[in-house]
Structure 1
Protein backbone atom coordinates (compact mmCIF):
# COMPACT_ATOMS: atom_id res chain seq x y z
CA UNK A 1 0.00 0.00 0.00
CA UNK A 2 2.81 2.59 0.64
CA UNK A 3 3.58 2.78 -3.08
CA UNK A 4 -0.05 3.79 -3.72
CA UNK A 5 -0.97 5.73 -0.59
CA UNK A 6 2.35 6.95 0.80
CA UNK A 7 3.71 6.17 4.25
CA UNK A 8 1.25 5.50 7.05
CA UNK A 9 0.99 8.55 9.34
CA UNK A 10 0.90 7.53 12.99
CA UNK A 11 -1.94 9.71 14.24
CA UNK A 12 -2.29 10.13 18.01
CA UNK A 13 -4.70 11.91 20.26
CA UNK A 14 -4.39 13.22 23.77
CA UNK A 15 -5.24 10.70 26.48
CA UNK A 16 -7.75 11.36 29.25
CA UNK A 17 -10.58 13.84 29.14
CA UNK A 18 -9.40 15.82 26.06
CA UNK A 19 -9.02 12.61 24.04
CA UNK A 20 -12.51 11.45 24.94
CA UNK A 21 -13.91 14.89 24.07
CA UNK A 22 -12.23 14.61 20.67
CA UNK A 23 -13.74 11.15 20.16
CA UNK A 24 -17.22 12.44 21.01
CA UNK A 25 -16.75 15.26 18.47
CA UNK A 26 -16.15 12.56 15.84
CA UNK A 27 -19.23 10.48 16.53
CA UNK A 28 -21.26 9.84 13.36
CA UNK A 29 -19.69 12.63 11.27
CA UNK A 30 -16.79 13.01 8.86
CA UNK A 31 -13.22 13.59 10.05
CA UNK A 32 -13.25 17.02 8.45
CA UNK A 33 -16.42 18.10 10.28
CA UNK A 34 -15.20 16.55 13.54
CA UNK A 35 -11.90 18.39 13.23
CA UNK A 36 -13.63 21.72 12.74
CA UNK A 37 -15.84 21.16 15.78
CA UNK A 38 -12.88 20.01 17.88
CA UNK A 39 -10.90 23.14 16.93
CA UNK A 40 -13.82 25.35 17.96
CA UNK A 41 -14.47 23.45 21.19
CA UNK A 42 -10.89 23.34 22.43
CA UNK A 43 -10.54 27.10 21.80
CA UNK A 44 -13.18 27.80 24.48
CA UNK A 45 -11.43 28.57 27.79
CA UNK A 46 -11.96 25.73 30.24
CA UNK A 47 -13.61 23.36 27.77
CA UNK A 48 -10.89 20.72 27.93
CA UNK A 49 -11.15 20.10 31.68
CA UNK A 50 -14.11 18.41 33.38
CA UNK A 51 -14.53 21.28 35.85
CA UNK A 52 -14.32 23.94 33.17
CA UNK A 53 -16.62 22.16 30.75
CA UNK A 54 -19.37 21.90 33.37
CA UNK A 55 -19.42 25.69 33.72
CA UNK A 56 -20.29 26.10 30.02
CA UNK A 57 -23.88 26.47 28.84
CA UNK A 58 -25.39 25.35 25.54
CA UNK A 59 -24.66 28.76 24.01
CA UNK A 60 -20.95 28.04 24.49
CA UNK A 61 -20.90 24.30 23.78
CA UNK A 62 -23.36 24.31 20.88
CA UNK A 63 -23.23 27.87 19.57
CA UNK A 64 -19.51 28.56 19.87
CA UNK A 65 -18.18 24.99 20.07
CA UNK A 66 -20.42 23.56 17.37
CA UNK A 67 -21.64 20.52 19.32
CA UNK A 68 -25.13 19.22 18.78
CA UNK A 69 -27.35 19.30 21.88
CA UNK A 70 -27.05 15.50 22.32
CA UNK A 71 -23.26 15.73 22.13
CA UNK A 72 -23.29 18.60 24.64
CA UNK A 73 -25.22 16.31 26.98
CA UNK A 74 -22.69 13.53 26.32
CA UNK A 75 -19.67 15.69 27.15
CA UNK A 76 -21.39 16.88 30.33
CA UNK A 77 -22.08 13.26 31.26
CA UNK A 78 -18.41 12.44 30.66
CA UNK A 79 -17.19 15.37 32.79
CA UNK A 80 -19.60 14.49 35.61
CA UNK A 81 -18.58 10.81 35.57
CA UNK A 82 -14.91 11.76 35.89
CA UNK A 83 -15.53 14.21 38.72
CA UNK A 84 -17.78 11.85 40.70
CA UNK A 85 -15.35 8.94 40.26
CA UNK A 86 -17.53 6.62 38.15
CA UNK A 87 -15.07 6.94 35.26
CA UNK A 88 -11.51 6.28 36.35
CA UNK A 89 -9.31 7.13 33.38
CA UNK A 90 -6.10 6.47 35.32
CA UNK A 91 -7.23 2.84 35.75
CA UNK A 92 -7.58 2.19 32.00
CA UNK A 93 -3.96 1.03 31.45
CA UNK A 94 -4.44 -1.81 33.97
CA UNK A 95 -7.61 -3.04 32.23
CA UNK A 96 -7.68 -5.42 29.28
CA UNK A 97 -9.44 -4.20 26.14
CA UNK A 98 -12.84 -5.69 27.02
CA UNK A 99 -12.73 -4.27 30.56
CA UNK A 100 -11.66 -0.83 29.31
CA UNK A 101 -14.45 -0.77 26.72
CA UNK A 102 -17.02 -1.82 29.33
CA UNK A 103 -15.74 0.82 31.77
CA UNK A 104 -15.99 3.58 29.16
CA UNK A 105 -19.33 2.52 27.70
CA UNK A 106 -20.95 2.52 31.13
CA UNK A 107 -21.05 6.32 30.74
CA UNK A 108 -23.95 7.86 28.82
CA UNK A 109 -22.78 9.06 25.40
CA UNK A 110 -19.73 6.79 25.21
CA UNK A 111 -20.62 3.94 22.89
CA UNK A 112 -18.48 1.09 21.68
CA UNK A 113 -17.08 3.01 18.68
CA UNK A 114 -16.10 5.98 20.88
CA UNK A 115 -14.40 3.70 23.41
CA UNK A 116 -12.53 1.77 20.71
CA UNK A 117 -11.36 4.89 18.87
CA UNK A 118 -10.21 6.49 22.12
CA UNK A 119 -8.32 3.39 23.24
CA UNK A 120 -6.72 3.00 19.81
CA UNK A 121 -5.63 6.62 19.22
CA UNK A 122 -5.18 8.01 22.74
CA UNK A 123 -4.16 4.96 24.71
CA UNK A 124 -2.14 3.26 21.95
CA UNK A 125 -3.84 -0.12 22.24
CA UNK A 126 -2.50 -2.50 19.54
CA UNK A 127 -5.43 -4.89 19.04
CA UNK A 128 -8.65 -2.89 18.61
CA UNK A 129 -10.76 -2.76 15.49
CA UNK A 130 -13.76 -0.37 15.54
CA UNK A 131 -16.07 -2.69 13.60
CA UNK A 132 -18.85 -0.09 13.53
CA UNK A 133 -16.73 2.49 11.70
CA UNK A 134 -18.21 3.42 8.30
CA UNK A 135 -14.86 4.41 6.79
CA UNK A 136 -13.36 1.02 7.69
CA UNK A 137 -16.32 -0.70 6.06
CA UNK A 138 -16.06 1.51 2.97
CA UNK A 139 -12.32 0.87 2.72
CA UNK A 140 -12.77 -2.90 2.89
CA UNK A 141 -15.59 -2.69 0.34
CA UNK A 142 -13.32 -0.74 -2.00
CA UNK A 143 -10.32 -3.07 -1.55
CA UNK A 144 -12.36 -6.24 -2.08
CA UNK A 145 -14.67 -4.84 -4.77
CA UNK A 146 -17.75 -5.70 -2.70
CA UNK A 147 -21.20 -4.54 -3.89
CA UNK A 148 -21.98 -3.03 -0.45
CA UNK A 149 -20.20 -2.04 2.73
CA UNK A 150 -19.77 -5.06 5.00
CA UNK A 151 -21.83 -5.11 8.21
CA UNK A 152 -20.03 -4.64 11.54
CA UNK A 153 -20.19 -8.37 12.35
CA UNK A 154 -18.55 -9.15 8.99
CA UNK A 155 -15.84 -6.56 9.65
CA UNK A 156 -15.21 -8.02 13.12
CA UNK A 157 -14.95 -11.54 11.67
CA UNK A 158 -12.49 -10.42 9.00
CA UNK A 159 -10.45 -8.44 11.53
CA UNK A 160 -10.10 -11.50 13.79
CA UNK A 161 -7.44 -12.79 11.42
CA UNK A 162 -5.36 -9.66 12.06
CA UNK A 163 -5.06 -10.17 15.83
CA UNK A 164 -3.02 -9.19 17.80
CA UNK A 165 -2.43 -6.15 15.53
CA UNK A 166 -5.99 -5.15 14.57
CA UNK A 167 -5.28 -1.50 15.43
CA UNK A 168 -2.58 -1.42 12.76
CA UNK A 169 -4.97 -3.03 10.29
CA UNK A 170 -7.57 -0.35 11.11
CA UNK A 171 -5.00 2.40 10.61
CA UNK A 172 -4.00 0.92 7.25
CA UNK A 173 -7.62 0.68 6.12
CA UNK A 174 -8.35 4.28 7.19
CA UNK A 175 -5.20 5.41 5.38
CA UNK A 176 -6.28 3.56 2.24
CA UNK A 177 -9.75 5.12 2.40
CA UNK A 178 -8.35 8.61 2.88
CA UNK A 179 -6.22 8.08 -0.22
CA UNK A 180 -9.09 6.50 -2.22
CA UNK A 181 -11.34 9.48 -1.41
CA UNK A 182 -8.68 12.08 -2.16
CA UNK A 183 -7.92 13.09 1.42
CA UNK A 184 -4.47 11.59 2.09
CA UNK A 185 -2.29 12.69 4.99
CA UNK A 186 -3.05 13.52 8.58
CA UNK A 187 -5.73 15.81 9.87
CA UNK A 188 -4.30 19.13 11.10
CA UNK A 189 -6.43 18.90 14.24
CA UNK A 190 -4.96 15.57 15.34
CA UNK A 191 -2.65 15.68 18.31
CA UNK A 192 0.91 14.56 17.68
Structure 2
Protein backbone atom coordinates (compact mmCIF):
# COMPACT_ATOMS: atom_id res chain seq x y z
CA UNK A 1 0.00 0.00 0.00
CA UNK A 2 1.03 3.60 -0.46
CA UNK A 3 1.95 6.18 2.13
CA UNK A 4 -0.76 6.61 4.76
CA UNK A 5 -2.22 9.96 5.80
CA UNK A 6 -0.16 9.80 9.00
CA UNK A 7 3.06 9.11 7.09
CA UNK A 8 2.37 11.94 4.67
CA UNK A 9 1.71 14.38 7.50
CA UNK A 10 4.79 13.36 9.44
CA UNK A 11 7.08 13.60 6.42
CA UNK A 12 5.62 16.88 5.17
CA UNK A 13 5.97 18.42 8.62
CA UNK A 14 9.65 17.43 8.53
CA UNK A 15 10.13 19.04 5.11
CA UNK A 16 8.17 22.15 6.15
CA UNK A 17 10.63 22.56 9.02
CA UNK A 18 13.42 22.84 6.43
CA UNK A 19 11.62 24.79 3.70
CA UNK A 20 9.59 27.93 4.55
CA UNK A 21 7.97 27.94 1.08
CA UNK A 22 6.65 24.42 1.66
CA UNK A 23 5.45 25.40 5.13
CA UNK A 24 3.50 28.37 3.71
CA UNK A 25 1.95 26.38 0.87
CA UNK A 26 1.05 23.54 3.22
CA UNK A 27 -0.77 26.02 5.46
CA UNK A 28 -2.68 27.31 2.41
CA UNK A 29 -3.84 24.05 0.84
CA UNK A 30 -3.52 21.45 3.58
CA UNK A 31 -2.18 17.92 3.46
CA UNK A 32 -2.75 15.75 0.39
CA UNK A 33 -4.93 12.67 0.38
CA UNK A 34 -3.06 9.35 0.26
CA UNK A 35 -2.51 7.81 -3.16
CA UNK A 36 -2.72 4.07 -2.75
CA UNK A 37 -2.69 1.31 -5.35
CA UNK A 38 -2.93 -2.46 -5.01
CA UNK A 39 0.38 -4.25 -4.70
CA UNK A 40 1.18 -6.72 -7.49
CA UNK A 41 1.53 -7.29 -11.19
CA UNK A 42 -2.01 -6.21 -12.08
CA UNK A 43 -1.31 -2.63 -11.06
CA UNK A 44 1.46 -2.38 -13.65
CA UNK A 45 -0.69 -4.16 -16.22
CA UNK A 46 -3.39 -1.54 -15.63
CA UNK A 47 -0.74 1.15 -16.13
CA UNK A 48 0.13 -0.32 -19.53
CA UNK A 49 -3.55 -0.63 -20.53
CA UNK A 50 -4.26 2.95 -19.44
CA UNK A 51 -1.40 4.64 -21.28
CA UNK A 52 -2.66 7.45 -23.56
CA UNK A 53 -6.35 6.51 -23.29
CA UNK A 54 -9.21 7.82 -21.18
CA UNK A 55 -10.23 6.20 -17.91
CA UNK A 56 -13.43 4.93 -19.55
CA UNK A 57 -11.54 3.46 -22.50
CA UNK A 58 -9.04 1.75 -20.18
CA UNK A 59 -11.88 0.19 -18.16
CA UNK A 60 -13.51 -1.07 -21.37
CA UNK A 61 -10.26 -2.62 -22.61
CA UNK A 62 -9.65 -4.26 -19.23
CA UNK A 63 -13.11 -5.84 -19.27
CA UNK A 64 -12.54 -7.13 -22.81
CA UNK A 65 -9.17 -8.55 -21.79
CA UNK A 66 -10.77 -10.43 -18.91
CA UNK A 67 -13.39 -11.86 -21.27
CA UNK A 68 -10.74 -12.87 -23.79
CA UNK A 69 -7.99 -14.18 -21.50
CA UNK A 70 -9.80 -15.06 -18.29
CA UNK A 71 -10.83 -13.35 -15.08
CA UNK A 72 -7.94 -11.94 -13.02
CA UNK A 73 -5.67 -11.97 -16.10
CA UNK A 74 -3.20 -14.37 -14.52
CA UNK A 75 0.31 -13.85 -15.91
CA UNK A 76 0.59 -17.34 -17.44
CA UNK A 77 -2.60 -16.78 -19.44
CA UNK A 78 -1.55 -13.35 -20.69
CA UNK A 79 1.92 -14.62 -21.59
CA UNK A 80 0.42 -17.47 -23.61
CA UNK A 81 -2.28 -15.39 -25.30
CA UNK A 82 -1.88 -14.85 -29.08
CA UNK A 83 -1.13 -11.27 -30.04
CA UNK A 84 -4.29 -11.15 -32.17
CA UNK A 85 -6.40 -12.03 -29.14
CA UNK A 86 -4.90 -9.19 -27.08
CA UNK A 87 -5.34 -6.77 -29.95
CA UNK A 88 -8.96 -7.81 -30.41
CA UNK A 89 -9.54 -6.65 -26.83
CA UNK A 90 -8.33 -3.17 -27.73
CA UNK A 91 -4.60 -3.22 -27.08
CA UNK A 92 -2.33 -1.71 -29.70
CA UNK A 93 0.43 -3.89 -31.09
CA UNK A 94 2.92 -2.07 -28.85
CA UNK A 95 0.80 -2.41 -25.71
CA UNK A 96 0.22 -6.08 -26.42
CA UNK A 97 3.99 -6.62 -26.52
CA UNK A 98 4.38 -4.71 -23.24
CA UNK A 99 1.63 -6.72 -21.54
CA UNK A 100 3.18 -9.99 -22.66
CA UNK A 101 6.66 -8.92 -21.55
CA UNK A 102 5.32 -8.09 -18.07
CA UNK A 103 3.37 -11.35 -17.86
CA UNK A 104 6.36 -13.40 -19.07
CA UNK A 105 8.66 -11.87 -16.44
CA UNK A 106 6.17 -12.68 -13.69
CA UNK A 107 5.32 -16.15 -14.98
CA UNK A 108 9.00 -17.08 -15.29
CA UNK A 109 9.81 -15.81 -11.81
CA UNK A 110 12.36 -13.28 -13.05
CA UNK A 111 10.45 -10.68 -11.04
CA UNK A 112 8.41 -11.24 -7.89
CA UNK A 113 6.26 -8.28 -6.88
CA UNK A 114 5.82 -9.77 -3.41
CA UNK A 115 9.57 -9.73 -2.88
CA UNK A 116 11.12 -6.83 -4.76
CA UNK A 117 14.61 -5.77 -3.62
CA UNK A 118 14.49 -3.48 -0.60
CA UNK A 119 16.97 -1.13 -2.26
CA UNK A 120 14.91 1.30 -4.37
CA UNK A 121 17.37 1.50 -7.27
CA UNK A 122 17.65 -2.27 -7.45
CA UNK A 123 13.86 -2.58 -7.51
CA UNK A 124 13.64 0.04 -10.25
CA UNK A 125 16.29 -1.81 -12.27
CA UNK A 126 14.31 -5.05 -12.05
CA UNK A 127 11.11 -3.37 -13.14
CA UNK A 128 12.60 -1.38 -16.01
CA UNK A 129 14.00 -4.62 -17.46
CA UNK A 130 10.38 -5.29 -18.47
CA UNK A 131 9.56 -4.00 -21.94
CA UNK A 132 7.46 -0.85 -21.76
CA UNK A 133 8.12 -0.10 -18.08
CA UNK A 134 10.22 3.04 -17.73
CA UNK A 135 11.68 4.65 -14.65
CA UNK A 136 8.60 6.82 -14.07
CA UNK A 137 6.23 3.84 -14.06
CA UNK A 138 8.53 1.93 -11.71
CA UNK A 139 8.80 4.89 -9.33
CA UNK A 140 5.04 5.45 -9.29
CA UNK A 141 4.48 1.78 -8.51
CA UNK A 142 6.97 1.81 -5.64
CA UNK A 143 5.44 4.98 -4.20
CA UNK A 144 1.73 4.16 -4.59
CA UNK A 145 1.70 0.37 -4.22
CA UNK A 146 4.59 -0.21 -1.81
CA UNK A 147 4.63 3.08 0.08
CA UNK A 148 8.36 3.57 -0.28
CA UNK A 149 8.88 6.86 1.46
CA UNK A 150 11.92 8.22 -0.36
CA UNK A 151 10.83 7.72 -3.97
CA UNK A 152 11.19 10.99 -5.88
CA UNK A 153 9.92 10.88 -9.50
CA UNK A 154 12.00 13.83 -10.67
CA UNK A 155 11.13 13.13 -14.31
CA UNK A 156 7.43 13.78 -13.72
CA UNK A 157 6.29 16.90 -15.57
CA UNK A 158 3.82 18.07 -12.90
CA UNK A 159 6.44 17.63 -10.16
CA UNK A 160 8.93 19.69 -12.16
CA UNK A 161 6.38 22.42 -12.90
CA UNK A 162 5.28 22.71 -9.29
CA UNK A 163 8.83 22.77 -7.97
CA UNK A 164 9.48 25.70 -10.28
CA UNK A 165 6.34 27.49 -9.09
CA UNK A 166 6.93 26.81 -5.39
CA UNK A 167 10.48 28.10 -5.47
CA UNK A 168 9.85 30.96 -7.89
CA UNK A 169 12.14 29.69 -10.64
CA UNK A 170 12.10 31.49 -14.01
CA UNK A 171 11.51 28.21 -15.86
CA UNK A 172 10.66 24.59 -15.21
CA UNK A 173 13.66 22.81 -13.68
CA UNK A 174 15.20 19.84 -15.46
CA UNK A 175 15.01 16.33 -14.08
CA UNK A 176 18.56 16.65 -12.77
CA UNK A 177 17.81 19.99 -11.12
CA UNK A 178 14.54 18.68 -9.65
CA UNK A 179 16.43 15.74 -8.18
CA UNK A 180 19.12 18.03 -6.76
CA UNK A 181 16.57 20.38 -5.16
CA UNK A 182 14.90 17.56 -3.24
CA UNK A 183 18.07 15.78 -2.12
CA UNK A 184 18.07 17.43 1.37
CA UNK A 185 14.54 16.12 2.00
CA UNK A 186 15.56 12.46 2.06
CA UNK A 187 14.07 10.19 3.45
CA UNK A 188 10.79 12.09 3.00
CA UNK A 189 10.80 12.70 -0.75
CA UNK A 190 7.84 10.41 -1.49
CA UNK A 191 5.56 12.66 0.54
CA UNK A 192 7.05 15.68 -1.23
CA UNK A 193 6.04 14.18 -4.59
CA UNK A 194 2.47 13.58 -3.41
CA UNK A 195 2.38 17.16 -2.11
CA UNK A 196 3.69 18.52 -5.43
CA UNK A 197 0.83 16.79 -7.29
CA UNK A 198 -1.62 18.11 -4.71
CA UNK A 199 -0.30 21.66 -5.08
CA UNK A 200 -0.31 21.39 -8.87
CA UNK A 201 -3.90 20.18 -8.98
CA UNK A 202 -5.08 22.77 -6.46
CA UNK A 203 -3.42 25.60 -8.37
CA UNK A 204 -4.90 24.51 -11.71
CA UNK A 205 -8.36 24.22 -10.17
CA UNK A 206 -8.01 27.73 -8.75
CA UNK A 207 -6.87 29.14 -12.08
CA UNK A 208 -9.84 27.58 -13.88
CA UNK A 209 -12.25 28.87 -11.24
CA UNK A 210 -10.87 32.41 -11.50
CA UNK A 211 -11.69 32.44 -15.22
CA UNK A 212 -15.34 31.53 -14.71
CA UNK A 213 -17.87 34.38 -15.10
CA UNK A 214 -19.18 35.75 -11.83
Distance across 2 between alignment mates of 1:139 and 1:103: 29
What SS is found at the alignment partner of 1:91?
coil
Distance across 1 between alignment mates of 2:73 and 2:40: 10
Which stretches of structure 1, 4 residues or more, deviate above 6 A after TM superposition?
Answer: none
**Largest Rg, 1 or 2:** 2
Out of 18, 41, 60, the residue aligned to residue 89 of structure 2 is 60
What are the ranges of 5 or more consecutive residues in structure 2 without an aligned counterpart?
1-24, 207-214
CA contact (8 A) 1:21 1:75 kept: yes
2:115 aligned with 1:86: no
The superposition leaves residues 95-122 of structure 1 with CA deviations (integer Å, 9 ceiling, x where unpaired) of 2111111111111111111111100000
Inter-CA distance 152–91: structure 2 relative to 1 (3 Å threshold): same
Distance across 1 between alignment mates of 2:58 and 2:47: 9
2:190 is aligned to 167
2:46 aligned with 1:22: yes
| TM-score (structure 2 length as normaliser) | 0.71
CA contact (8 A) 1:17 1:49 kept: no
Cα displacement (A) at 1:128: 0.5
| TM-score (structure 1 length as normaliser) | 0.79
Give the alignment's Cα RMSD to 1 decimal: 2.3
The superposition leaves residues 117-163 of structure 1 with CA deviations (integer Å, 9 ceiling, x where unpaired) of 10000011000001111110111122223232111101111111110
What SS is found at the alignment partner of 1:75?
helix
Inter-CA distance 133–37: structure 2 relative to 1 (3 Å threshold): farther
Cα displacement (A) at 1:77: 0.8
Name the count of aligned residue pairs.
Answer: 173
Distance across 2 between alignment mates of 1:119 and 1:17: 12
Cα displacement (A) at 1:34: 5.7
Cα displacement (A) at 1:43: 2.8
